[in-house]
Amino acid sequence: MELPKLAIAALGGTVSMQAMNAGEGVTPIISGEVLLDSVPELATLARVNVETLGLLPSASLDFEFLLSVLSWASFQIRQGAVGVVITQGTDTLEETATFFDFLWDHDQPLVLTGAMRSAASAGADGPANLLDACRVALAAQSRQRGVQVVMNGQIHSASVVRKTDSLALQAFSSPIVGPAGMLVENAIHYLHPPTQRKVLPLPQHTTQRIALLEASLSADSLMLENIIELAYDGLVIAGFGAGHVPENWAGVIETIAGTIPVIIATRTGSGPTAQSTYGFMGGEMDLIRKGASMAGFLCPRKARILLWLLVGCQQQHRLASYLSKD
């Protein structure tokens, strides 16, 4: 019986990193083709097409490059791939997964993975993560689940996954809901059923700019006051607690919200913003009256991506429907 077709794209990141000389830091130099050699077992599972689309640390990825990767991945599906795997750095993995998830309109799975230890490290986790990601991408039960992140034996939905540790192998988690599934003895076990997704059209514009500011104790409002003058097209604020800002920010936000979309998220790392609990100036009820939108369960970074895409396809008027989906 013919093996299924699987596509793998390598973008760089720690999974592809080694040091050129002793004592130097690691940099991305290992191609996808070489990385594939580290998982010979994959040849018994699928016919693999691997391409190196970049060798970048994930902090240097940008939206336009990711749109080209998305186009490549969609082409692989049209060419008969049953799934697509992308390897990249973990620093922005949660953001890349979210970006793709808002745009991935195929039933076939798109799976992202990476590594916390470089390829030259003792106990490098890249090969195991890659093999796990490929198993997930090949599994029939992975269909209609959108984009997923596979790391350290766990499967996370793109919409909720976050990097919650800087260096540990167990660096990724899905606050509140937990992982979507796990791999046990090479078998995929899903813990949650697929959820309904809203997919956006591809953006027609890519020059829009969305600012992300974080509220902090005794913060001044100078940057906030200049958002419009700096020609930003949207603003996301990582607010205190359930979506709150300093009192001196509240009036400025009202002015901004009259010109561009403003989203208030929580900086806490877990839990939603409130809607009708706090009535003080700078609380969520006050900010809603002033024209801001509350992010709900969407974290500030994911909210910024959503707003960038909505503005890019001129769908910002639909913001409320995307923020209420959770």
From 14, 87, 266, 273, the catalytic residue: 14
Structure tokens that stand for 246 in this block: 């300093």
Q: Give bridge partners of residue 214 from the DSSP assignment.
A: 238
- How distant is the alpha carbon of residue 227 from its chain centre? 25
5-12 and 47-56 beta bridge pairing? parallel
Residue 259 is assigned to a ligand binding site? no
Our answer to whether residue 14 is catalytic in this structure is yes
110-113 and 147-151 beta bridge pairing? parallel
Q: Please give the radius of gyration of the chain, using alpha carbons only, rounded to the nearest integer.
A: 21
CB 112 within 8 A of CB 148: yes
Structure tokens that stand for 208 in this block: 């829009």
- Which burial class, exposed, middle or buried, applies to 261 when counting CB atoms under 10 A from its CB (0-12, 13-18, 19+)? buried
- C-alpha–C-alpha distance, residues 4 and 138, integer Å: 8
- C-alpha–C-alpha distance, residues 257 and 126, integer Å: 44
Please give the torsion angle defined by the CA atoms of residues 281, 285, 291 and 297, in that order, rounded to the nearest 10 degrees: 120
CB 135 within 8 A of CB 45: yes
- Name residues whose C-beta falls within 8 Å of residue 199's C-beta, 6 or more positions apart in sequence: 102, 103, 104, 105
Location of structure tokens 């998830």: 101
Residue 58 is assigned to a ligand binding site? yes
- Residues that constitute the known binding site: 58, 90-91
Residues annotated as catalytic (active site), given as ranges:
14
- Residues that constitute the known binding site for substrate: 58, 90-91
